[in-house]
Amino acid sequence: MTSTPEIHRGLAGVYADTTEVSTVIQETNSLTYRGYAVQDLAAHHSFEAVSYLLWHGELPDEKQLAAFEAAERALRPLNRTESELLARLPETCHPMDVLRTAVSLFGAEDPREDDNGEEANLAKSLSLFAKLPTVVAAHQRRRRGLDPIAPDPRLGYAENFFHMCFGEVPDEEVVRCFEISLTLYAEHSFNASTFTARVITSTLSDLYSAVTGAIGALKGPLHGGANEAVMDMLDEVRDPADAARWLDQALAEKRKIMGFGHRVYKNGDSRVPIMQGALDRLVAQSDNPEAPRLDKLHAALREAMFERKQIHPNLDYPAGLAYHLMGFDTPVFTPIFVMSRVTGWTAHIIEQLSHNSLIRPLASYDGVAQREVPKG
Ligand SMILES: CC(=O)SCCNC(=O)CCNC(=O)[C@H](O)C(C)(C)COP(=O)(O)OP(=O)(O)OC[C@H]1O[C@@H](n2cnc3c(N)ncnc32)[C@H](O)[C@@H]1OP(=O)(O)O
Ligand SMILES: O=C([O-])CC(=O)C(=O)O
């Protein structure tokens, strides 16, 4: 008789490979990108500089950053085929479907699609980084029956995204809060979408295919889709006075409370204090009449969840409300996560190729024993 192998369902606790890109340090509950604490990066560097760091391993000097920014700004516009094809998708489809289709289309158009050399993959990564906000913004406007706004090369990455979505750039505090969220969302080791990208890459498929698959993995509400689900939950509960009663019922129904819990962090997500601080500043200066109620409800659910389950919020909890207060439609929240995480995904794709081994685990069979096929 063969012994039953040890099963790690969900690969919980399994080390699948090494990485130099980022790490969660359990003892201090902190996260580093290429060795730098993420809160220090968020406080002192632009999202563009953080993206450069993830791809190149070091922060850029002034000249490198200027060249990087100029290249990003030049790559933002979509060509006519891209704009027309994406505008043919149903207006009602989820914007994650638009992004998934867009990345697949960019791959089909790129003559270097199958060139897996580092230089080619860095060029593709920068191109995705520059173009995805243009796709997301055009869809945000289309949902409201509005024509797209062309990117403005005079504006930085975050400012330009607001300009393309709303035709104006908001107060500095709002842009800062958005940039902080992008830096915090950029990278998180072997999370489900990054691992998906690495699995696809491990077959020696192309970067666009890996990113398309990663978008599909991020869409799910147990992963990136949770930032949208947080807002749906706040819309469902509405009244801060109902938070505890609503939560008791949801827990009794064995519902997962969106924006809470984490596979790796069991004592709180290291990114939450930074994002919550940015959200507090956003609420304080918001002219949205709903901001005080939403803030109270957000805090009431967080406190009730901790009292009942001792489970902490993850990054999606403050980010979801922050994106709402910035004026984005709820279905655009996870696409914003993609705009940021495409940096981490592509850094991992390049790393996977640098020491590739096909990712192919085993399954312990527990189906019916071998049997005779009925004849005739
Ligand atoms: C950016 C990101 O992707 S962060 C994650 C975003 N996802 C979410 O916010 C979705 C809600 N959260 C969850 O579903 C989970 O916490 C996950 C999927 C993120 C992590 O799950 P796991 O590591 O598998 O933890 P697991 O599901 O085993 O949770 C352990 C216990 O805590 C409970 N638990 C964990 N999170 C939650 C939650 N959000 N709501 C209710 N109960 C929860 C589980 O029911 C389980 O209880 P049990 O032992 O009584 O069965
Ligand atoms: O690490 C994870 O499992 C999920 C997460 O927080 C992320 O991808 O940012």
Residue-level pLDDT at 113: 98
Which residue intervals of the chain bear CATH 1.10.230.10?
226-325
Residue in 285, 339, 346 with CA at minimum distance from that of residue 160: 339
Return the structure tokens found at 64.
């490198």
| pLDDT tens profile 152-168 | 999 999 999 999 999 99
* Global model pTM greater than 0.95: yes
Which residue intervals of the chain bear CATH 1.10.580.10?
20-220+329-354
The Cα–Cα gap between 349 and 206 comes to: 9
Low-confidence ranges of the chain (pLDDT < 70): 1-2
Ligand 1 pocket: which of 222, 230, 246, 249 to mutate (most atoms within 8 A of CB): 222
Residue type, 78: L
Q: Given the residues 139, 262, 298, 312, select the one marked as catalytic.
A: 262
Residue 191, ligand 2, Cβ within 6 A: yes
Q: Give, using CA atoms, the residue closest to atom 16 of ligand 1.
A: 261
Residue-level pLDDT at 196: 98
Residue 76, ligand 1, Cβ within 6 A: no
> 1.10.230.10, 3.40.1370.10, 3.90.950.10, 2.40.10.10: which CATH number matches 226-325?
1.10.230.10
ipTM value, please give it. 0.98
Round the average pLDDT of the chain to a whole number and report it: 97
Q: Which CATH architecture has domain 20-220+329-354?
A: Orthogonal Bundle (1.10)
Three-state secondary structure readout of the chain? CCCCCCCCHHHCCCCCCCCCCEEEEHHHCEEEECCEEHHHHHHHCCHHHHHHHHHHCCCCCHHHHHHHHHHHHHCCCCCHHHHHHHHCCCCCCCHHHHHHHHHHHHHHHCCCCCCCCHHHHHHHHHHHHHHHHHHHHHHHHHHCCCCCCCCCCCCCHHHHHHHHHHCCCCCHHHHHHHHHHHHHHCCCCCCHHHHHHHHHHHCCCCHHHHHHHHHHHHHCCCCCCHHHHHHHHHHHHCCHHHHHHHHHHHHHCCCCCCCECCCCCCCCCCCHHHHHHHHHHHHHHCCCCCHHHHHHHHHHHHHHHHHHHCCCECCHHHHHHHHHHCCCCHHHHHHHHHHHHHHHHHHHHHHHHHCCCCCCCCCCCCCCCCCCCCCC
The Cα–Cα gap between 271 and 33 comes to: 12
Residue-level pLDDT at 2: 63
Measured from the alpha carbon of residue 227, the closest ligand is 1
Ligand 1 pocket: which of 255, 311, 315, 323 to mutate (most atoms within 8 A of CB): 311
Residue-level pLDDT at 29: 84
The Cα–Cα gap between 15 and 185 comes to: 22
Residue 314, ligand 1, Cβ within 6 A: yes
Residue 260, ligand 1, Cβ within 6 A: yes
